[in-house]
């Protein structure tokens, strides 16, 4: 009898432990699976070109169907980066790299959530365009449209009357940052498609290798070659981070030692082991690079490079510790009173989503290698790191002083006046009457009513440093959304969704006893 009681008590203890592991103190409960579904819908809203038969965002229609025509090249397709209609190559490529990385890390979770096909479609819409834009080994079309003229107009993309001039980089007009990031995007995507579409994966890898060679051989910043981009996506960090980034993704895609040697030999002179950064963005790749390099330490075959790899890792950990507020003094990322990471006034959520993504990946790395992170402010285990990443995601979804979901279309309250031309004007599918450049400003931009079309899955710029948010169309610093804001969330929504499922199963298991 005593043995039976002891066994029963032991079972209860084990079950209680399981329950405790998955239990969180946060009183908010979020449907991460729903957030995942909505985040992938957003990319369909941003599509340029001829929309496919299975387009789910029905308020959109075909647009930009003559892109590249003036230059004698087919540049139809790709993504609009935000609320305007310029196709900017650098942020588009970063969006695809990040989406691909999320699928590489959390493919199983995305698939179990039933969203893998949509994730692959989102990636392929970008890479199909990059294949078109890479018209020869040393030519990459970098931009379609002009930000200055585009911003004079408030039109639906289906009505566009603004310039669709295209701009390219080549041997005489280099752009190593753009070439390196596009190479990274195509290399990462090739890993994603390797099993399901090997021919396409091989094609992407071919383009990635050519682009990297072009970017490395003909070095220069793309905004020096294409001046019209300077006011919008100026490459402040230069091109060295993108070349290291591109080389590393090519190594992961090919296992070719030459690419690893590039990352090792250029580690110091290109800043990979020198720059300690507190942001990861479309412009600055160092933190992502350093975390990706750190993962190589888990493989014994990289033992000869341990010294350099650990130097990369120390910079990765500087980034992580700064996000966790455990660096020394002023070397931490600021936070709002409610705990949201705050880097900049303009579109701050892009830095929050990338930070949550990198923290989640590094948490997995620590758990897999059975390590703790040693910061100046103390040691951190993988659970604490993951919990902080989750707190940032939960803030996005509504655990904040405004009780506002900053992911549009998710939850009972979210921004309804997003700074977005297509969403703020009556759908072209409903009313095909032409809306002119200034007519859009006069009749739609200044309206106090909410947008007629919901930009589902868009992550807007978010609140200010005091957690305040003003939902107005002209408040573009806070209400405009970008593709690279949402992209890092796809993989971690899938991970947190599975964690919630496991927690619910543990509750059921405990209840059954």
Q: What torsion, rounded to 10 degrees, do the Cα atoms 207, 210, 211, 216 define?
A: 160
Determine which one of 61, 471, 500, 501 is catalytic: 471
Distance CA 133, CA 183 (A): 12
Distance CA 261, CA 308 (A): 11
Q: Is 419 a catalytic residue?
A: yes
303 backbone dihedrals φ, ψ, rounded to 5°: -60, -35
Distance CA 262, CA 184 (A): 14
Distance CA 260, CA 220 (A): 22
Q: Is 2 a catalytic residue?
A: no
Distance CA 311, CA 272 (A): 9
Closest CA to 170 of 136, 120, 123: 136
Distance CA 141, CA 20 (A): 53
> Is residue 207 a contact partner of residue 186, using CB atoms and an 8 Å limit?
yes
**Terminal Cα distance for the chain, rounded:** 18
**CA distances, 46 to each of 83, 189, 239, 354, 376 (Å):** 9, 19, 27, 20, 42
Helix axes 306-323, 349-369, angle to 10 degrees: 130
Q: How many helices, marked H, and strands, marked E, lie in the chain?
A: 20, 7
3-state secondary structure of 144: strand
Distance CA 436, CA 444 (A): 11
Q: What torsion, rounded to 10 degrees, do the Cα atoms 8, 10, 15, 19 define?
A: 130
Which H/E stretch holds residue 367?
A: helix 349-369
Bridge-based pairing of strands 341-342 and 373-375 is: unpaired
Determine which one of 44, 67, 181, 480 is catalytic: 480
Residue corresponding to tokens 């169907």: 65
CA 250 to centroid of chain Cα atoms: 19
Distance CA 434, CA 452 (A): 17
Determine which one of 84, 115, 216, 241 is catalytic: 84
Determine which one of 305, 342, 382, 419 is catalytic: 419
Known catalytic residues are: 84, 419, 471, 480
């Amino acid at each position: 009898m005593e043995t039976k009681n002891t066994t029963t008590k032991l079972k209860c203890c084990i079950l209680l432990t399981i329950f405790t592991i998955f239990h969180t103190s946060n009183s908010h409960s979020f449907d991460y699976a729903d957030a995942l579904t909505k985040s992938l819908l957003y990319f369909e809203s941003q599509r340029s070109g001829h929309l496919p038969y299975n387009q789910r965002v029905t308020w959109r229609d075909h647009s930009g169907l003559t892109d590249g025509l003036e230059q004698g090249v087919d540049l139809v397709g790709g993504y609009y980066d935000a609320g305007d209609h310029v196709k900017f190559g650098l942020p588009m490529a970063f969006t695809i790299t990040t989406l691909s990385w999320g699928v590489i890390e959390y493919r199983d979770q995305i698939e179990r959530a039933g969203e893998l096909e949509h994730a692959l479609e989102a990636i392929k819409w970008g890479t199909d365009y990059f294949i078109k834009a890479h018209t020869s080994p040393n030519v990459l079309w970098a931009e379609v449209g002009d930000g200055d003229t585009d911003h004079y107009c408030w039109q639906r993309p289906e009505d566009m009357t603004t310039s669709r001039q295209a701009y390219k980089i080549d041997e005489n007009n280099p752009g190593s940052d753009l070439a390196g990031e596009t190479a990274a995007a195509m290399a990462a995507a090739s890993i994603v498609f390797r099993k399901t579409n090997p021919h396409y994966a091989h094609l992407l890898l071919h383009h990635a290798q050519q682009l990297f060679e072009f970017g490395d051989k003909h070095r220069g910043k793309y905004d020096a070659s294409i001046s019209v981009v300077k006011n919008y996506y100026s490459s402040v960090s230069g091109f060295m981070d993108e070349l290291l980034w591109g080389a590393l993704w090519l190594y992961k895609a090919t296992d070719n030692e030459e690419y690893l040697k590039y990352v090792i030999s250029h580690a110091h002179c290109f800043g990979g082991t020198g720059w300690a950064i507190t942001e990861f963005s479309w412009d600055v790749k160092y933190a992502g690079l350093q975390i990706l390099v750190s993962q190589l330490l888990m493989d014994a075959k990289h033992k000869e490079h341990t010294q350099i790899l650990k130097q990369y890792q120390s910079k990765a950990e500087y980034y992580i510790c700064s996000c966790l507020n455990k660096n020394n003094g002023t070397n931490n990322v600021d936070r709002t009173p409610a705990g949201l990471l705050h880097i900049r006034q303009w579109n701050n959520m892009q830095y929050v989503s990338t930070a949550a993504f990198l923290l989640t990946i590094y948490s997995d790395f620590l758990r897999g290698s059975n390590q703790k992170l040693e910061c100046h402010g103390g040691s951190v285990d993988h659970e604490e790191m993951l919990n902080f990443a989750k707190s940032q995601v939960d803030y996005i979804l509504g655990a904040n002083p405004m009780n506002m979901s900053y992911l549009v279309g998710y939850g009972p309250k979210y921004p309804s006046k997003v700074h977005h031309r297509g969403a703020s004007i009556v759908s072209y599918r409903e009313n095909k009457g032409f809306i002119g450049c200034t007519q859009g400003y006069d009749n739609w931009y200044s309206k106090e009513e909410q947008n007629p079309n919901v930009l589902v899955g868009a992550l807007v710029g978010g609140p200010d440093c005091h957690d305040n948010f003003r939902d107005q169309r002209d408040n573009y610093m806070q209400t405009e959304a970008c593709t690279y804001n949402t992209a890092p969330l796809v993989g971690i929504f899938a991970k947190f969704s599975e964690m919630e499922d496991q927690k619910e199963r543990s509750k059921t298991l405990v209840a059954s006893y």
